[in-house]
């Protein structure tokens, strides 16, 4: 056996060892939208698990700050300014990373844009749908397709797609955002089937509402999770590599759509009427874009009794103990 063959065999043995132990130590993990919100928290959490993290975002200054934070804590991180909506930018960045570091083991497609606006306010705003597709669907596709060849060649790779519980719920006022995430969900479902023999796997995370700067223009939308909670979920996706990670509200809504679709629609219509469009959706405030992922969940009633509020709090705490459907 030549030295090269011995090295390849050793590398494959290490990969199998890591796969059995679900260890991120030494893994090369690329995270898009890593300058703030979920992406930033995920980069910090993944680096703390021993991975080398490649952070991508458009905002170079903020990106550098996160890289410095990770390195100061003893982690390994590299920042690359990149616009996932630009093919040349993605191709140049991926080539640079592969030239400098050899390979990428895992990809987290986190960069995204969300728009919360009723369809009747969007009839003259086709660009709302085009902009969300450009980032959430085509941006994630650019990154996945750019890294897939070297993953297939190495016979190892894992891709985490940050989707939305709203895809399962069909949350009103998020038609543009959820359509782009639904497209990504279906692409991922097909890709996972085709790449099984290549040992390239995919996890779709249907995130609930997460407290990031991107949700600020939309106003109060109900209970939400922290970026740190979302980051822990991403770490779970990278280490355990399930097919999907859902939360209870998405799972219940999905079953509801199958078993009682008309009742589900009536409930969502009441929700739609209960929460009006935000000032941003009415054109009173400029849309805000960020590299993190929000999703709308069912809100608490705006006016409720003390008993109802207490009951709601108990139910929300209980729901947090249910991890959702996890395959």
Tell me which residue of 12, 35, 15, 154 sits closest to 84, measured CA to CA: 35
Which is the catalytic residue, given 177, 255, 271, 272? 177
Cα of 250 vs its chain's centroid, Å? 15
Backbone angles phi, psi at 146, to 5 degrees: -70, -35
User: Strand 157-164's sheet: what is its strand order?
Assistant: 76-81, 52-57, 28-32, 106-109, 157-164, 200-207, 244-245
- CA-to-CA dists, residue 80 to 42, 43, 289, angstroms: 16, 13, 19
C-beta of residue 57 within 8 angstroms of C-beta of residue 39: yes
Q: Is residue 101 within 8 Å of residue 150, measured between CB atoms?
A: no
Tell me how far apart the alpha carbons of residues 180 and 164 are, in angstroms, rounded to a whole number.
Answer: 10
How many Cβ atoms from other residues are within 10 Å of residue 284's Cβ?
A: 10
Active-site annotation holds for 177: yes
> How far, in Å, are 219, 311, 316 from residue 305 at the CA level?
22, 10, 17
Q: Spell 223-234 as b/e; 16+ CB within 10 A means b.
A: bbbebebbbebb
For 46, 60, 108, 116, 281, the CA distances from 276, given in Å and listed in that order, are: 38, 36, 33, 11, 10
Radius of gyration of the chain (CA): 20
Please report how the helices 227-240 and 37-48 are oriented relative to each other, as an axis angle in degrees rounded to 10: 50
User: Which amino acids are annotated catalytic?
Assistant: 177
């Amino acid at each position: 056996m030549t030295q090269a063959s011995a090295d390849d065999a050793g590398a494959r043995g290490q990969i199998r060892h890591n796969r059995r132990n679900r260890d991120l130590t030494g893994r090369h993990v690329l995270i898009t939208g890593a300058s703030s919100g979920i992406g930033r928290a995920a980069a910090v959490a993944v680096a703390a698990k021993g991975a080398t993290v490649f952070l991508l975002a458009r905002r170079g200054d903020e990106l550098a700050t996160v890289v410095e934070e990770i390195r100061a804590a003893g982690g390994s991180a590299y920042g690359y300014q990149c616009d996932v909506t630009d093919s040349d930018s993605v191709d140049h960045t991926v080539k640079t990373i592969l030239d400098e570091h050899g390979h990428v083991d895992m990809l987290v497609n986190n960069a995204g844009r969300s728009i919360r606006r009723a369809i009747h306010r969007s009839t003259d705003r086709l660009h709302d749908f085009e902009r969300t597709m450009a980032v959430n669907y085509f941006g994630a596709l650019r990154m996945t397709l750019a890294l897939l060849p070297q993953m297939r060649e190495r016979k190892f790779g894992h891709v985490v797609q940050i989707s939305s519980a709203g895809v399962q719920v069909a949350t009103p006022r998020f038609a543009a955002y959820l359509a782009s995430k639904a497209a990504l969900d279906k692409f991922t479902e097909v890709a996972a089937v085709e790449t099984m023999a290549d040992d390239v796997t995919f996890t779709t995370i249907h995130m609930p509402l997460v407290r990031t700067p991107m949700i600020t223009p939309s106003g109060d939308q109900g209970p939400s999770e922290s970026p740190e909670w979302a980051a822990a979920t991403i770490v779970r996706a990278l280490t355990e590599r399930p097919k999907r990670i859902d939360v209870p509200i998405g799972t219940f809504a999905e079953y509801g759509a199958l078993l009682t679709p008309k009742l589900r629609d009536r409930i969502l219509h009441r929700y739609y009427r209960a929460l009006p469009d935000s000032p941003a959706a009415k054109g009173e405030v400029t849309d805000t874009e960020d590299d993190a992922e929000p999703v709308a969940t069912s809100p608490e009633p705006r006016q409720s009794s003390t008993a109802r509020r207490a009951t709601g709090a108990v139910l929300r705490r209980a729901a947090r103990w249910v991890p959702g459907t996890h395959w």
